[in-house]
Amino acid sequence: MIRSLTILAVYYAVRTVWPLRILYLLFSEEQHAHIETFLTWALPIIFLFDLNAMLSRWAENKWMWNHDKSAWHWRNELAVVTGGSSGIGFSVVEKLVSYGITVAVLDVEPFLNQLQPDQMSLVSFYQCDITSRDAVHKTAEKIRSDHGSPSVLINNAGIGNANTILEITPERLRSIFDVNLLSHWNTVQEFLPDMIAKKKGHIMSTASLAAFLGLAGMVDYSCTKAGMIAFYEGLTQELKHRYNAPQIKTSIVFPNWTKTRLTSHLTDSLKRSKAPILDPEDVAEAMVQQIIAAKSGQVILGPSLAASIRAFPWWVQEFIRDRLAQIVITNATTAVS
């Protein structure tokens, strides 16, 4: 909306205001007619795009105009990051502490001391199996005893298999759903009540562009990430309509292929497909900037049309899936992201 009004204002100024009118006089009457015809058609289209973007931002902010960034004082905030010992999670931790945010890392693997001493002083590691409701509760009690209640929860932990539907074992299938999806109920049930009581918080989930496509060789992974979309949407609705807490931010992040242990066995096939590969630091930067901006919404780190792929004709969708069908072709054990 601002963009279209700016274009119109500039054109009007060029026509009427000296010395800008000199620019107007450089063109012939015929050229002026073409410009005005173009603006007659272009400005409404630009206006509609701007209006759509504005309404989307308003909806993402739960129909509130104010982002209320003043409520956040980063050196007083506590963030919980699951899967924070490596990969994207570690990079998120590193960037959070750069803002002075205290971070509690939940992971089954030890947190490697790869940060500066002043940064490490802001990080507390809690070995925790997030698939266990009891383990999450006991860890949460320890976190609250040590630091107080967290205001930020980043559900980042994830695992991946490289197996077909017929090859995957029941144990591995159950495991990936437990870690990638069902664990979100454990952490949100534990930490959300305090956020609701304070009318302040931010819950973020690390999904994947695989949420929009069911790909051969990683059907289980795609299913868990698609399920995260439903979880994110439902959580957002319940915060507005069940708990009267629209102030609590909700975000979901969709990275493209990223250089983590999840993709280490796909290096050759990714190169052959010429698929872009993100660095964990770039994904983490986008995630943390969303937190610092105190914004809700989707963060898509890949083709901007990815979220709209289900609206494409079926033959287009299938063509895209076919192009990606040979990326995950080797059997592999699970890896933590």
Contact 80, 104 (CB under 8 A): yes
Give per-residue burial for 158-196: e unless 16+ CB within 10 Å, then b. Answer: bbbbbbeeeebeeebbebbbbbbbbbbebbbebbbebbb
Q: At what angle do helices 87-97 and 280-292 cross, to 10 degrees?
A: 40
Contact 196, 248 (CB under 8 A): yes
Strands 152-155 and 102-107 come out as unpaired
Q: What is the DSSP letter of 161?
A: E
3-state secondary structure of 81: strand
Q: Which of the residues are catalytic?
A: 221, 225
CA distance 122 to 75: 10
3-state secondary structure of 289: helix
